[in-house]
Amino acid sequence: MPKRGNNKNNITVILQQLGRSEVGNIFLVNLHCCLETNTLVATRVRAALGSVKSSISSSMSPANLLGHLKAVLQRKLFRLHLQINSEKAFAAFAGGGYLVTVMLYDDYDRYYADPSHRTFGHAFALKKPGEKSDRFLSTAKTNKAFWAAPVQEFPDIGLITSKAETARDVLGLAHLGTDKELIALHFIPSPAKCYRPTIVEAIPNSSRFRQTSARYPTETRWGYTVDLAKLESVSGPTDDITGVRELVFEQVLLQECTVDGFYYLDRPLTDRSTNDMESKFLVTL
């Protein structure tokens, strides 16, 4: 069993390494918020971080260290945050409508598309933004953990079915650039296993994740996305960059869900992952 002193030194080195970069500091601020709001258990966080030897973390860049911590933290901490286990709470989140989750077209084509309904080699006849398909493999499942938001909260519901830029920005998916072809799935999954997201689930795309929303600082049932379009024009820490509500769900079989359909979004027109955006975002935390 590792000695307590070694664990403390291991944690100190991790904090020092992450503190060297804006991405690392974004992670640390969010982790602090998790501990303050009890969405992560402090003793388990210390045990997980303390298990990473200082000889390993000291040789890594902040970005590589976060990648290493992903495996450690997600293995040891996943699903320790607050679970919404009531139909009433889920109904308040969904608002009686569909939820949306966004995926890469390549993942849709590989794991969801029904080969018997392909046209011109793919599931969408025209590959035109807004085109819809309600066909999918009977065995199709979501990822082991996926993020979803209520469709009705989007500023323009029509755009979430046809515009990659809007979907990407409102959902805060900064890692999806102009080279990513996107699909939006609109459906109602089971409310039995849904969770408030934490910085642990956000790794490795944690550079635009905010554990608490300035607009709703006491909300513990769900999280809120960061609207990347609002962040683009941020001028100070008081600017509101809140997007829409979000939850993390465990894997579901699509046949057991109410599925509206898959919508072809095409590619975003801009890239939101530039370094100057990280400094802007850090100001708002």
Same domain, 266 and 217: yes
| pLDDT tens digits, 95-123 | 889 999 999 999 998 999 887 766 555 66
Same domain, 164 and 250: yes
DSSP string for residues in 18-35: HTTSHHHHHHHHHHHHHH
Same domain, 66 and 155: no
Closest to 199 in 3D by CA, of 215, 211, 186: 211
Same domain, 135 and 32: no
Same domain, 15 and 122: no
| pLDDT tens digits, 31-77 | 999 888 888 888 888 989 999 898 888 898 888 899 898 888 887 66
Same domain, 105 and 154: yes
Give the relative orientation of helices 42-50 and 4-18 as an angle to the nearest 10 degrees: 90
Q: What is the mean pLDDT of residues 201-206?
A: 82
Query: Considering 62, 77, 92, which residue would you say is the last residue of a domain?
Result: 77
Query: Considering 50, 77, 104, which residue would you say is the last residue of a domain?
Result: 77
What are 49-56's contacts with CB under 8 Å, separation 24+?
49/7, 49/10, 49/11, 49/14, 49/73, 50/2, 50/6, 50/7, 50/8, 50/10, 50/11, 51/2, 51/7, 51/10, 51/76, 52/10, 52/14, 53/10, 54/9, 54/10, 54/12, 54/13, 54/14
Same domain, 149 and 16: no
Reported pTM: 0.87
Q: Is residue 183 pLDDT above 60, yes or no?
A: yes
Residue 76 to residues 81, 193, 255, Cα–Cα distance (Å)? 12, 18, 31
Same domain, 92 and 147: yes
Same domain, 137 and 205: yes
CA–CA gap between residue 126 and residue 159 (Å, rounded): 18
Same domain, 32 and 93: no
Same domain, 89 and 215: yes
Tell me how many domains the chain contains.
2
CA–CA gap between residue 1 and residue 273 (Å, rounded): 41
Same domain, 63 and 107: no
Residue 53 structural domain: 4-77
